[in-house]
Amino acid sequence: MATYLENISGWFRGRLDGPGHMACPQDAELGLRVLAVWRSRMIAEALKAQNGGKVLSGPFAGMTYVSGAAEGALAPRLLGSYEAELHPYLEAFARDGADCVIDVGCAEGYYAVGLARLFPAAKVFAYDRNPVALDACREMARLNGVEDRVIVQGNFTPERFQDFAGLNCLVIMDVEGAEDELLRPDLAPALAGMRLIVETHDGARPGVRQRVYDRFADTHEIVQLNPGPRTQPLPDFLSGASQLDQLLAHWEFRSSPTPWLVMTPKGV
C-alpha cells in the first residue's frame, strides 16, 4: 500500500508541474479515479481487519476471501454488495438447482467459489487466462472447502460448451468484450438449453451487447440489468464514516456502462 501511495504522489507531482496543471477534464477525472482506488483499497483493508476477510452479506455471505481481487474492487465483494443487481437472479437459479456452473473469466473466484457454496450439488468449471488469478481461485476454493467441486482451468473456446450438452448448466461470463467470440450458438448449439448471466462491454467491443442479445433472442427470455446505486447497509465502523467513504466502499471501479444480460431458455 505504501508503494502504491508513493506512485500516486509521483503521478500527481508530474501532472501538477506540467502544462495545464490538470485543467484537462480527462486528466482531472483520471486523477480522481487514482485517488479513489487508493482510498477504496484502504477501506478493503479495514474490512478485512474487522471481519477476518469474510463476505458480510448477499448470496455469498460467510465466504472466506483471499487477500485481494485479481481485478476490480475488493471492498464491495467483502461487503456483499458487488453486482447486487444479479442477486435475485442468482438466488432464483439456485432454487432451481444445477448440475454444473461454467464461470468464464473467473478471476480470483468470487463467483466460482460463491456459486459452489450456493449450488451444493453442482460442479463449477472456472476458466481464466490469468495464471495468477487461477492460483487465487484454487486457494479460495480450498479456504471454503469446495476444492473438490471447483475445477479450475485456463483458456476457454466456444466449442467447449458442447462438453456440457444435456446438462442443467448455469453460465456466468465476464470477459471484457470476448463474449463476442465466445457466445456463439452456431458453434455450440448446447447454449440453447443453458441459463446465462453475461456482463457486456460495449466500451471494449462496440455493439457487442446487441449482438449477443440478437443471437439468443429466439431461444431465451432476456432481461437487461444496468448497474445502479447501492443501498445495502454498511457495517457499524463504516456507517459513521464520511459520505465519500461510504460511496467508495460500494464502488466497483467501473469506468463505463457494463449492463448484464440474464438469459433463461424459453419454456423453462
Contacts of 37 (CB under 8 A, 6+ apart): 73, 253
Check whether residue 26 and residue 105 sit in a common domain. Answer: no
Q: Is residue 204 part of a domain?
A: yes
CATH code for the domain of 168: 3.40.50.150
Angle at 37 (CA atoms; ends 66, 171), nearest 5 degrees: 50
Check whether residue 196 and residue 156 sit in a common domain. Answer: yes
Check whether residue 143 and residue 30 sit in a common domain. Answer: no
pLDDT for the residue numbered 259 = 96
Average pLDDT, the chain: 91
Check whether residue 176 and residue 81 sit in a common domain. Answer: yes
Q: Is residue 68 part of a domain?
A: no
Q: Is residue 17 part of a domain?
A: yes
Check whether residue 18 and residue 122 sit in a common domain. Answer: no
Comparing CA positions, the residue from 53, 56, 69 lying closest to residue 239 is 56
Distance of CA 95 to the CA centre of its chain: 21
Q: What is the mean pLDDT of residues 105-115?
A: 97
Check whether residue 237 and residue 129 sit in a common domain. Answer: yes
Longest dimension (CA), the chain: 63
Q: How far apart are CA 77 and CA 60, in angstroms?
A: 9
Q: How far apart are CA 65 and CA 48, in angstroms?
A: 9
For residue 116, give the amino acid letter.
A
Cell numbers for 109: 473466484
Cell numbers for 169: 448448466
- Identify the band that residue 225 occupies on the pLDDT scale cut at 50, 70 and 90: very high
pLDDT of 52-100, one tens digit each? 999 999 999 999 999 889 888 999 999 999 999 999 999 999 999 999 9
pLDDT for the residue numbered 230 = 85
- Identify the band that residue 136 occupies on the pLDDT scale cut at 50, 70 and 90: very high
Q: Is residue 63 part of a domain?
A: no
What's the domain count of the chain?
A: 2
User: Containing domain of residue 40, as a range?
Assistant: 2-51
Taking the whole predicted model, whether its pTM rises above 0.85 is answered as yes
Q: What is the mean pLDDT of residues 107-130?
A: 97
Q: Is residue 192 part of a domain?
A: yes
- Identify the band that residue 12 occupies on the pLDDT scale cut at 50, 70 and 90: low
Helix or strand (DSSP H, E) at 7: helix 2-16
Give the whole-number percent of the chain exceeding pLDDT 70: 90
pLDDT for the residue numbered 57 = 94
Check whether residue 203 and residue 100 sit in a common domain. Answer: yes
Question: In terms of DSSP H, where are the helices of 17-53?
Answer: 25-51
